Structure 1
Amino acid sequence: MSLGGVMLLLFPVLLLCGGSGAATLGGPGEAVLGRGTFGKMGNFSTFLLNRTSGMLFLGATDAILAVDTNRMNQSPRTITWDVPEEKRRSCVAKGKTEVDCRNYIRLLEFLGNGKIYVCGTYAFDPQCAFLDLSSFTLEKAEEGGVRMETGKGKCPFEPSQHYTAVMADGVLYTAATSNFLGTLFDISRATGPEQERIRTERSIHWLSDPEFVSSAFIQESAGGNLAGDDDRIYFFFTEVAKEYDLYTKVKVPRVARVCKSDVGGMKTLQRRWTTFLKAQLVCEDKPSGQRYNVLKDVFTTQHSPGDPGSTHFYGLFTSQWELDELSAVCVFSLSDITKVIDGPFKELKKNCENWINHEPIPTPRPGQCLNNALKAEGFESSLKLPDKVLTFVRDHPLMENSVTAAPLLVRKGVKYTKLAVTLSGGEEEERRGAVLHLGTDRGELHRVAVVGQNATLLEERALFPSPEPVNNILLHESWALVGSPLSLARIPAVGCALYTTCEVCARARGLGCVWSATEEACRESPLDPGPDDFVDAALRKCPAGEGRCSPTPRVLRVTRDMRILLPCVQLSPRPCSWEYPPHRHTRQHHSDLEVTVGDDSVGTYVCTCQEAGPDIRDPTPCRRAEYQLTLEDPVIGGTGSTPGGRHVLAIYIVFFFAGLVLGVFLLYFVTRRRSLARQGRHLPDNSLSSEKGRDLLGSSATPQSPSSASLLSEGFRLTEKRNGTSTTTTTLLSNQGNGGHHSNSYSGSLIHSNSSNGHGNSLYGNCNAGSGGLKFASEILAADMLDGRTGERERARPEGGEREAGEG
């Protein structure tokens, strides 16, 4: 084969194998670290950031890594902390797998003396060690090995167990399993003086099969703490409710609170919390009655920096009862949680199947933290509390009322795994803006602007070469550090410069962004948006731009018996409805509409979603998508061909003729040898074996290329490489609308329908089923693949180096 043919064969391999170290995502300063940097190290489950130096510490399997986030191209520093072989064999003998019987680093916390406290599962025998930052080594014991102490109660036994921990003034508070079988759960003070190491009571009324999610240390302001209130630690988890008598287990999200100065009781509740109280979190859309009862992640932030009372907790929820993927975001204020915890207690005891009367609440109030008033009454410590107070709080850990909130965002068909929040806008709560950074289970990052009760999708982007779930998001200065079990990405987190078109900038108006026509860039506005200066008004200032609730109709040319999917992005908890011609055959998937094309399917299809209006019970309709279906006769071989499709087909034709030429050459070579043998060349004594060799050569030298018929059929069923996995593309089309380029692909069972503005930012009215995870039969086509215009030039995708597919 010629040198050019060899290069054609090797070029895809070079593309796949090339590149190591920090890969650029597309924007200035953006980078992603993967296998080329970390090698075989993986399972990055724990992040710890030194915000002064920008050094990020990662807990991995049998290792701790240090990555300089200011110099992502530098190789990370690594410490190996593995399990001895005899201990690993002992773990396997107890019934565990080889994979789980390793040391998974689950805890990294600063100790304040130039050291990091490191804890790992250590083959189902949790151990902790001390990492010296100056030398970046683990402290050694006298015998020469790593200096270790038991990690029971500080770190989970199993790598996949739910777990959370927080450091408060050098003391570690954890929520984890406390036995090998994973059947006992504790919220405990895990370090400090031995007599102050206390935990929860072993009672199903305290903790009932919990899945711990997050924890937060709320430190009262020293200057403004006139009441002398104690510092508090909050834990968020999902558990099985014991207050409901149902035929199945009902999961409920909880928030629990303990006080930092609690040291347990003298007789009752010895070495147990005397201040442990918990309340139910309710994330519910009251007009529709939809409740989200499984907590996935919590992000803690202060709306007014330096004011602990302004702390808010943004919770990421899903539903136990929904079979499809569903995600919602609710925000709870610290003041609302405090009001519920200071309210009435729930009575859990029963007598003869009837609820008994509530017990009178003793004095001082059970479960309250120490303050100046209690100290004045002689209760300087929890050890001095009366037994009747401790008995009451032991039997009444749950509060009667719930902490309720309406969802800021609801997204169906998408599974969010992590959440981070940046705040912007004015001081007033109703005009405050927030950007939700949401990681998906497919390695994507979605950004949603929330102003008041309205949510706007600003961006959807893939970060990693393969669909790895996002398990960490850290916000540092102007960057977002996004981690998965195998990769780490650094992308911009704040700033109006992220939004590179007028339309996207207008949708971020509530965040203080304004489009500058002279600079053709999105800039921060020194003035807060007024009551009439919101997204709709900003969109009207964009040239030929579509309104947020008045999308430009899109014309789709379809053929009979075709199945297409019309996307409609739903961000509000209110339902979306479709208007369509009568006598059509449709089926709704979440907010999207599947249409089977027939003679009566021609007409206008409009998707309208309900958004929150001035009153939460008075939603306003917002038109999100509009399509015009026109019927045309099918064309043999497809609806046309773009240059991109012709290029792909041309490559197949080149390979076909190259194989044909090679086959003719080899056939000529074999025939030539046989003709020479017939012309009088004498064989040696082993002519029989030589004859067998000639027959073997003629058989093996036949080119293993498909026949012409198979190649022609493959010419319309192309195979492309996406994110390291081969997918067979049934139909490749291109589309242009709203003044921007739209990259559309439909591969296998996944539908990708992105509206891209040419700079990697997906606009408001898009539908990315790669992130949504909608799976249909291979003959369903996305609406973005059916725009009537053709002849677009092929261009490179902004991220990942993927090429846009044209019509085929």
Structure 2
Amino acid sequence: MFDLSCRTSWELTFKLQRMMPTCEHDLFCMQACDPGMRDITLGPQMFKNVTDFSTFLLDRSSGVLYLGAKDAILAVDTNNLNQQPRKIVWDVPEDKRKSCVAKGKTEVDCNNYIRLLEFLGDGRIYVCGTYAFDPHCAFLEQSSFTLEKTEDGGIKTETGKGKCPFEPAQHYTAVMASGILYTAATSNFLGTLFDISRATGPEQERIRTERSINWLNDPEFVSSAFIEASADANPTGDDDKIYFFFTEMAKEYELYTKVKVPRVARVCKSDVGGMKTLQRRWTTFLKAQLVCEDKSSDRRFNVLKDVFTVQHSAGDPSSTHFYGLFSSQWEPEDVSAVCIFSLTDINKVMDGSFKELKKNCDNWMNPEPPPTPRPGQCLNSALKAEGFESSLKLPDKVLTFVRDHPLMENSVTAAPVLVRRGIGYTKLAVTLTGRGAVLHLGTDRGEIHKVAVVGQNTTLLQESPVFPSNEAVNNILLYQGWALVGSPLSLARIQAEGCALFSSCTVCARARGLGCVWSNEEEACSLSEKDPGPGDVVDAALKKCGSLDGRCSPIIQEMRVSLGQRLLLPCVQLSPRPCSWQHPPHRLTRQHHTDLDVTVTEDSLGNYVCSCQEGGPSVRDPTTCLRATYHLSLEGPTVGGSKSPAGSRHIIAVYILFFFLGSLCAVIIMYFVNRREKFGQHQAPDTSLSSDKGRDFTASFVSPQSPSSTSLFSKVFQMEKQNGTTTSTTTTSTLLSNQGNGGPHSSSLSNSKPSNGINGNSSSGELKLASEMLVGNVVGRRTVERASPGGGEMESGEGYGMVGGLGDGSNEGLKGLEEELASFPMFRSSAPLAPCEESSI
């Protein structure tokens, strides 16, 4: 059992650890075999409840890994993981923690999270922590693994503002260049000010960015790199440079939605600021946009997650490449992409034209020509010969220009070498081989994915679990063929280089492009010096393994389906090149990225083949690769017992028949109702109070001069504007004059003689009509104005008083109804606006 657990891959070791919760992490395997030769995972039990690891610092000479955690610093010997890690406790005093909580922060955040670990070069490590939202820095002696003390025995500290973030989760990056610390972090308690600064060194040389949204606009810092110019390959005497990678809100895009844009910024090592303009500010700060775009699908990945810096040729800084890990602001699902940017392309953009950020009306102004010497240029031998030995001697016009033009016109563009959907990658590391590169990608579910990139082709090699699914990978360091992988709670050491890490013939065959060959005699994967040769080397190697499922010759997958079922047929394509499907001709399909959405019918049964373009000998010569093949067939009777879609068609026909029959009945009923209304209009009035017609509102108020009751409020209360004064129509007056002719309790509303009045109207019916007329008038914000008996015009509101002539207390009832309706907001009249009144929003 011990030999089995140590011979198997580290995935099985991880499973065995979870099956034995009482054991220390990996002590089981470490006691059974040589820990220096196996993949190992250390968890919370090994670290004695020290959590929240966020920072890695590796001493490559000794193999000691320093871990920055919450209130502690750990030192782990990666060559002897059986040894208990050393620990330094650096926590926050209780009174300072309470003060932090009183300022509105949580108790969890009011601790000391170690965010910075950097070598000083004199046997010490510079350590900085959040220290309850008041960043502090200290000095760690490597030999004794202790923090420097003051004379009274306390920890010797200095301010960490501008060197370390205030919050434990804030985006942050730092790099050491010749013993001087360069950082990109927030610089205030609220986290609203951002600086890229030279944080250590002589006080007069500590400079930072200008506080302007043209320089930094709500950035999320990701990574930084110090590129030291080689003395042999630097004939111009150019200065060393520091590069910062971040994502910020785009100032140049004036859209309603905030657009995130990935950037690369560059400053020069010898920059000390200007004499008058840009004092204690960068005079060489320039930034450019990074574009990771798949032109075939017109999709751009605009959120930068991580950057890994590597030299493609050892000892040649000009061969430096930056592997960027991106996601998308616009994708509803997780999507990850990897783009590669060269240092040469970045410097070419930095030496190009400047973008003009000043705006005149809605047109961008033409940029003014840059002055001489070129703004943002690093000092070199030619400038020093002209008398510019320092940035302090640069003219004000040069400094003013670079202050107002930090952004470059052109962008650094690259096409993605890998695109994965549905997977959230968090960290990236790269191993170079003789024929290509291996990407080590950490996920947000505690996994490490290995992807081979050879020329234009990308192949997924392994997907291996390292930590529990709730622990995201937040650190990856490469050291002597190993990958040191970290999460907030655990640490793992896994094999990262060499063909020997591929433990099966199938996985080894997928790495054939890297030069790996499987040996059946030794049952091992090893590196071969022979060239893989032309053609699809992966498929040829898979056939030697006896695998029918090749990389470009997949086996047919039989799928038993039911009618009406909805399927999503996957087609995994790592590269961004397009994929197409061949399937039976029917309309119930929709391609979602590379996958195919299918609704099963009788016409959709058959074969489905996904073909993707792969990289050939050149970019313009792609080859076709079959990625997936499916065969859909019926599994038996469909859900609901219907044997064919004919049954469903019959049901639909019955529904349609009932619909038409119902419509016909409705037309007939409406016809007879119309006939009855017309017949009632020519009948003699019924003078009996017990008549049923007198209780019917619709029939009791119909007259030859009034409209039909079905359109009472749509026509009766129409208002017209005459000579600038709003008056009611004749129809309204006619209705008012006809309303008073009724039973013994009604009274006349005007002196005009009623015509064709209808008797049998009770006072309740009159009250109901009057109230509804009142509602119509109030809603229309108009007052009924009609001629008074004296020949003059009725005053506003006079009509309501005449309605009050109704007997039996109707006057008080209508007044109460008017007051009640006026209390509703919908019936209140808003204040009118003056003509041509302007408002600012």
Query: TM-score with structure 1 length normalisation?
Result: 0.73
State the SS of the aligned residue for 1:538. Answer: helix
State the SS of the aligned residue for 2:411. Answer: strand
2:185 pairs with 1:173:
no
**CA spacing shift, 1:328–1:381, aligned 2, 3 Å:** same
Report the equivalent of 2:648: none
Report the equivalent of 1:570: 573
CA contact (8 A) 1:584 1:598 kept: no
CA contact (8 A) 2:539 2:553 kept: no
How far apart are the structure 2 equivalents of 1:223 and 1:602?
67
State the 1:473 CA deviation.
0.6
Give 2:499's aligned amino acid.
Answer: C
State the 1:416 CA deviation.
0.5
Alignment gaps of 5+ in structure 2: 1-15, 639-841
2:420 pairs with 1:416:
no
Residue 491 of structure 2 is aligned with which of 470, 488, 491? 488
CA contact (8 A) 1:215 1:236 kept: yes
Residue 19 of structure 1 is aligned with which of 23, 31, 43? 23
Report the equivalent of 1:742: none
CA contact (8 A) 1:24 1:31 kept: no
State the 1:352 CA deviation.
3.6
Identity percentage of aligned residues: 75
Give 2:399's aligned amino acid.
Answer: L
Paired positions, count: 619
How far apart are the structure 1 equivalents of 2:68 and 2:637?
57
How far apart are the structure 1 equivalents of 2:622 and 2:138?
55
Report the equivalent of 1:652: none
Report the equivalent of 2:303: 294
CA contact (8 A) 1:287 1:617 kept: no
Any idea what the Cα deviations from partners look like across 1:251-297, whole Å, max 9, x if unmatched? 11100000101001111110000111111111111222111111100
Any idea what the Cα deviations from partners look like across 1:550-591, whole Å, max 9, x if unmatched? 112123445667666543212121343433345596665553
CA contact (8 A) 2:17 2:26 kept: no
2:221 pairs with 1:212:
yes
Report the equivalent of 1:284: 293
How far apart are the structure 1 equivalents of 2:616 and 2:421?
21
State the SS of the aligned residue for 2:204. Answer: helix
Residue 187 of structure 1 is aligned with which of 184, 189, 196? 196
**CA spacing shift, 1:352–1:583, aligned 2, 3 Å:** closer
CA contact (8 A) 2:609 2:630 kept: yes
Residue 523 of structure 1 is aligned with which of 526, 529, 547? 526
State the SS of the aligned residue for 1:38. Answer: coil
Give the RMSD, CA atoms, in angstroms. 2.5
Give 2:392's aligned amino acid.
Answer: L
State the SS of the aligned residue for 2:409. Answer: strand
State the 1:310 CA deviation.
0.4
Residue 120 of structure 1 is aligned with which of 123, 129, 145? 129
State the 1:542 CA deviation.
3.6
**CA spacing shift, 1:355–1:24, aligned 2, 3 Å:** farther
CA contact (8 A) 1:413 1:590 kept: no
How far apart are the structure 2 equivalents of 1:562 and 1:71?
56
2:370 pairs with 1:361:
yes
Residue 441 of structure 1 is aligned with which of 438, 441, 444? 444
How far apart are the structure 1 equivalents of 2:48 and 2:289?
44
**CA spacing shift, 1:370–1:24, aligned 2, 3 Å:** farther
State the SS of the aligned residue for 2:507. Answer: helix
**CA spacing shift, 1:566–1:530, aligned 2, 3 Å:** same
Residue 243 of structure 1 is aligned with which of 252, 273, 276? 252
State the SS of the aligned residue for 1:605. Answer: strand
How far apart are the structure 2 equivalents of 1:386 and 1:158?
40
State the 1:162 CA deviation.
0.5
Any idea what the Cα deviations from partners look like across 1:71-120, whole Å, max 9, x if unmatched? 12222111110000100111111111111111111000011111110000
Give runs of aligned pairs for residues 142-157 of structure 1, distance below 5 A.
142-157=151-166
How far apart are the structure 2 equivalents of 1:24 and 1:549?
41
**Quick one: higher RCO (CA 8 Å, sep 6+), 1 or 2?**
1
Report the equivalent of 2:607: 604
Report the equivalent of 2:318: 309
Any idea what the Cα deviations from partners look like across 1:505-541, whole Å, max 9, x if unmatched? 2221221212234433221112344444733443444
Give runs of aligned pairs for residues 247-266 of structure 1, distance below 5 A.
247-266=256-275
CA contact (8 A) 2:607 2:631 kept: yes
State the 1:356 CA deviation.
2.6
CA contact (8 A) 1:496 1:523 kept: yes
Give runs of aligned pairs for residues 80-91 of structure 1, distance below 5 A.
80-91=89-100
Alignment gaps of 5+ in structure 1: 1-11, 426-431, 636-808
CA contact (8 A) 2:208 2:282 kept: yes
How far apart are the structure 2 equivalents of 1:597 and 1:65?
58
CA contact (8 A) 1:445 1:462 kept: yes
Residue 454 of structure 1 is aligned with which of 432, 452, 457? 457
CA contact (8 A) 2:52 2:489 kept: yes
CA contact (8 A) 2:17 2:25 kept: no
Give 1:199's aligned amino acid.
Answer: R
CA contact (8 A) 2:445 2:468 kept: no
How far apart are the structure 2 equivalents of 1:613 and 1:276?
41
2:348 pairs with 1:336:
no
> Larger Cα Rg: Structure 1 or Structure 2?
2
Any idea what the Cα deviations from partners look like across 1:786-808, whole Å, max 9, x if unmatched? xxxxxxxxxxxxxxxxxxxxxxx
Residue 109 of structure 1 is aligned with which of 104, 118, 123? 118
State the SS of the aligned residue for 2:46. Answer: helix
Give 1:114's aligned amino acid.
Answer: G
**CA spacing shift, 1:565–1:498, aligned 2, 3 Å:** farther
**CA spacing shift, 1:467–1:566, aligned 2, 3 Å:** farther
CA contact (8 A) 1:23 1:31 kept: no
State the 1:336 CA deviation.
0.5
Give 1:548's aligned amino acid.
Answer: R
Give 2:232's aligned amino acid.
Answer: G
State the 1:601 CA deviation.
5.5
Residue 470 of structure 2 is aligned with which of 441, 446, 467? 467
Give 1:450's aligned amino acid.
Answer: V
Structure 1 or 2: larger helix share?
Answer: 2
State the SS of the aligned residue for 2:628. Answer: strand
How far apart are the structure 1 equivalents of 2:310 and 2:29?
28
**CA spacing shift, 1:632–1:244, aligned 2, 3 Å:** closer
CA contact (8 A) 2:506 2:547 kept: no
Report the equivalent of 1:551: 554
How far apart are the structure 2 equivalents of 1:283 and 1:547?
30
How far apart are the structure 2 equivalents of 1:468 and 1:508?
28
The more displaced of 563-572 and 39-48 is 563-572
How far apart are the structure 1 equivalents of 2:176 and 2:112?
22
State the 1:246 CA deviation.
1.3
CA contact (8 A) 1:296 1:315 kept: yes
State the 1:19 CA deviation.
2.1
How far apart are the structure 1 equivalents of 2:23 and 2:405?
59
Report the equivalent of 1:746: none
Give 2:424's aligned amino acid.
Answer: K
How far apart are the structure 2 equivalents of 1:230 and 1:443?
41
Report the equivalent of 1:79: 88
Give 1:393's aligned amino acid.
Answer: V
Give 2:529's aligned amino acid.
Answer: P
Report the equivalent of 1:372: 381
2:480 pairs with 1:477:
yes
How far apart are the structure 2 equivalents of 1:525 and 1:15?
38
State the SS of the aligned residue for 2:332. Answer: coil
How far apart are the structure 1 equivalents of 2:492 and 2:466?
7
Give 2:96's aligned amino acid.
Answer: K
State the SS of the aligned residue for 2:410. Answer: strand
State the SS of the aligned residue for 2:101. Answer: helix
Structure 1 or 2: larger strand share?
Answer: 1
Report the equivalent of 2:173: 164
**CA spacing shift, 1:13–1:149, aligned 2, 3 Å:** closer
Give 1:485's aligned amino acid.
Answer: P
How far apart are the structure 1 equivalents of 2:579 and 2:251?
35
How far apart are the structure 1 equivalents of 2:564 and 2:151?
78
